[in-house]
Amino acid sequence: MDASGTDRDTGAGAGRARAALVAGVRGLALAVVGFAGSLTLFVLSALSIAFVVLGVGVFTTPPVLSLVRSWANRRRVLAAEWSGVRVPAAYRPFPEAPRTGVMGVVERCRLMLGDPATWRDLRWLLADMTAGFVTALLPAVLALYPLEGYALAAGLWRVVTDGTHVGWWFGFVPVGGQGSAFLAAGLATVLLVAGFFLAPALLRVHFLLTRAVLAPASGELAARVQVLTETRRDAVDTSAAELRRIERDLHDGAQARLVAMGMDLGTIEALIEKDPRAAKEMLARARRSSADALTELRDLVRGIHPPVLAERGLGDAVKALALRLPVATDVDVDLPGRAEAPVESAAYFAVSEVLTNAVKHSGADRVRVGLHHSGATGVLRIAVTDNGNGGARVGAGSGLSGIERRLGTFDGVLAVSSPAGGPTTVTMEIPCALS
């Protein structure tokens, strides 16, 4: 072998030794810090959830579970950075509760306890301080424990034993003198060689265990498919209902006017020589009918997809919508780009329906609309607030339920805060990317 080949082998060996040492140090840190953190959070979570029935846990559970999520997310980051293991986070998205006070805390507690990912996190804490502790400690044992065996062979045995009886054990080797200390060094060499090859793989086993506990189960994926199926069915039903509405509006509106105008033109043709004055009056009426039919067609097109939405985007379309409202409306837009056309359309008509409800039912004289997109979370957030009477609810027969179904097609969520006496805040969030 030439010198360059020898150098490559030496470099590869040094790299493997460094990786084994790093894996051992990381495993030791996970075993010590992970055990302490997981044990502490598991005890706090168990006590807090148990105290929910007493009322105290309602206030302590959300912050404790938030710490648990942060702890689990930190382990997800380490899994990806240290071993290339991707552990998906499948927490149910829900908007930051606009409610304040006790009701807001109760709602947040309910949502977090109702999330299956919360219970996976708690099971992981239990696994992390037991099996996770062992799997994290193994690479540390293989990479670092041999140092003790070499120290014993170098003379440390004289400190831990008086030379007359066994005073120390290294693994399964009883150390009572120099000879047994050399046996300990031999065992340390075996462990060191095993750690040289196995320590990084054993650290990866720890993170694979983490993924096995934290990743969503197939049953939850099936439930997710069921939700998507229902939202798709809702979208199809909504599209069919919209098509029927368009057909009805065309039949009862513009089509009827155009038929009447055609009949008037036939009458005008017959009267134009016999009674020019009557023909002139009917011609004026036909012109008005054509103008009315054109207006209705424009309104119909605007109801399908407003031209300003296609040309200028969601922000300008909502501003144009606000200008037509009979109440003072402020619109705050912070959108650095445009979402896909279906998302923009769903968001526009959701805002339109919320504004219509506010004008018709709330008694408000001022409305504020905010549109923002978070690049970090990839969520379009729309908040509509009015100073009306309050009392709005999401439920069967409510117009807000239709909005919720419309947003559900895009994995969007809707939250309503509407105490008696107002104000009412309707918050909508849609996961999307802007271009």
Q: What is the DSSP letter of 135?
A: H
> Which of 345, 87, 348 has the alpha carbon at shortest distance from 211?
87
SS3 215: coil
- Residue for token pair 């382990």: 75
> Which of 33, 29, 35 has the alpha carbon at shortest distance from 129?
35
- Residue for token pair 């407003």: 306
pLDDT in tens, the chain (435 residues): 455 555 555 666 677 778 878 888 888 889 999 999 999 999 999 999 999 888 888 899 989 998 999 899 889 888 888 888 888 877 776 654 445 667 778 888 888 888 888 999 999 999 999 999 998 888 887 777 777 777 766 766 666 676 555 567 766 677 766 777 777 777 777 777 777 777 788 889 999 999 989 887 655 555 556 555 655 655 555 555 655 666 665 666 666 667 777 777 777 777 777 777 877 777 787 777 777 767 666 665 555 556 777 788 888 888 988 888 888 889 999 888 888 888 888 888 888 888 888 888 878 888 999 999 877 677 888 989 888 887 777 654 556 777 777 787 777 878 788 777 878 888 888 888 887
- Give the list of residues 6+ apart from residue 138 with CB closer than 8 angstroms, or none: 27, 202, 205
Q: How far is CA 196 from the centre of its chain?
A: 40
> Which of 180, 222, 224 has the alpha carbon at shortest distance from 92?
224
pLDDT value of residue 97:
44
Determine contact, residues 213/173, Cβ cutoff 8 Å. Answer: no
* CA–CA distance, 170 with 181 (Å, rounded to integer): 9
- Give the list of residues 6+ apart from residue 415 with CB closer than 8 angstroms, or none: 94, 95, 97, 98, 426, 427
Determine contact, residues 405/238, Cβ cutoff 8 Å. Answer: yes
pLDDT value of residue 188:
75
pLDDT value of residue 13:
64
pLDDT value of residue 206:
93
